Structure 1
């Protein structure tokens, strides 16, 4: 069984169902409202554990009811939360998701306790990081903590996966130099490399920029089209998405990354197969409204 450590955010998502995004100054009625567990880190950790990996999570919550709600969710999935700690002052993270009738979303995030994670918290989890097959991080928690985790992972031969989301065009060189696999979507790829991603040629061009920055493996996800990969030895390819009717795209990318990590061999010998499984898992996620509740279990994801 793969051992995975995820560093990342915990958010309680409030989902607001609307016909379309409002115009500036416009007041609109909502069609519905619901609450679910979210946060890119938590989503990816749950995806990894549901994909069959032994998964540990590094994060922070506040001392509030939202924390209780999230911790109960984690325990139900047997996610290891030994390194999820409480912050004395900040509240548990929150996200407000505007979801239109086409399944597309816009998200507003309150970072809260997610923004208080430090390098010291990473050192508390050093034993788990060193024993892992793979570690994963995103940009909803402080970058210095991610750099520290990736440095510990690299020192111990552990694969590092960076999901550069939300988009950030100013990534420290030290982080990229310690990243084995980077997984941007087309918007994030453009923000980092300056290359507008529209087709395979532009995906290759963006990937070359990542390789120049020191990242050996690039996977660019392009929503309902699929995902592109590029290796530093000039091998590349494209994996088509599974065609389904999308209800809500929230957590689709997170599901992809969790399933990818849980299925990928260290030598990348099964890269296309792992990407295909991850894509299949994501196709289940987009058919259900919500984040963590929409992430499928391994037994559902059959090729």
Structure 2
């Protein structure tokens, strides 16, 4: 069984169902409101454990009822939460999701305890990282903590996957050089490279820029179209998405990352197969409302 470690965020999601996104200054009614567990880190950790991997989570929560709710969720899925610690001052992270009738979303984030993760927290989790096959991180936690974790991973021959979300410009070169696989969507790829991703040629241009920054493998997810990859030798490929009716795209990208990590061989010789399996898992996620509740289990992902 693969050992995966996820360093990342925990949020309580408030989902607001609306016809469309409001215009500036506009007041709109919403159809419904619901509460669910979320956070990119938590979503990816849950995706990895449901994909069949032995998964450990490095994260921080607040001292509140939201934390109790999330910890119960993690325990039910069998996630290792030895390195999920509590901050006594900051609250558990929160996300406010505007979900339109076409399944597209816009998300506002309150970082809370997620932003209090420090290098000391990473030191406490060093043995967990060093014994893993793969370490995953995203940008809903502080970059210095990610960099420290990736250093420990690289010193121990652990594969590193960076999901540069939310979109961020000027990622430290030090972090990029510690990254084996970077996996942005088209918006995040543009933020990193200033290349507008609209077709295969622009995907290749963006990937080349990321390679030049020090990243070995580039994956760019492009929603309902599928996912692009570019390897260290600059050879490229594209894996089509599965065509389904999307109800809610929340956590689709996180499902992709968690499932991808669970399937990849250490030699990375099965990258297309792993991407195809991850695409299939994501296609199941988008057919149900919510984040973590919509992430499938391994036995549900069938071709």
Distance in 1 of aligned mates of 2:12 and 2:195: 34
CA RMSD of aligned residues (A): 0.5
- Matched residue SS, 2:55: strand
Cα deviation, 1:44-84, whole Å, max 9, x if unaligned, reads 00000000000000000000000000000000000000000
Instruction: List aligned pairs for 1:165-184, cutoff 5 A.
Output: 165-184=165-184
Q: Secondary structure at the match of 1:58?
A: strand
| Paired position in structure 1 for 2:35 | 35
Distance of 1:237 and 1:213 partners within structure 2:
20
Q: Which residue pairs with 1:76 in the alignment?
A: 76
User: What is the CA-CA distance between 1:234 and the residue it aligns to?
Assistant: 2.2
SS at match of 2:14: strand
* Aligned ranges 1:1-303 → 2 under 5 Å: 1-303=1-303
CA deviations 1:246-266 (Å, max 9, x no partner) are 000000000000000000001
The 8 Å contact of residues 208 and 234 in structure 2, kept in 1 or not, is answered as no
- How many residue pairs get aligned? The number is 303
Deviations 1:200-259 (A, max 9, x none): 111111100011011010000000000000012122100000000000000000000000
Q: Which runs of 4+ in 1 moved over 4 A?
A: none
Aligned mates of 2:95, 2:126 — CA distance in 1: 29
1:292 positional shift: 0.2
Distance in 2, matches of 1:208 and 1:20, equals 36
The two structures have a TM-score, normalised by structure 2, of 0.99
Q: CA deviation at 1:26?
A: 1.2
Segments of structure 2 that go 5 or more residues without pairing to the other structure are none
Secondary structure at 1:249's aligned position in 2?
coil
TM-score (norm 1): 0.99
1:23 CA displacement: 1.1
SS in 2 for 1:228: strand
Cα distance in 1, alignment partners of residues 135 and 302 from structure 2: 25
- Structure 1 unaligned regions, length at least 5: none
Paired residues of 2:104 and 2:249 also in contact (CA < 8 A): yes
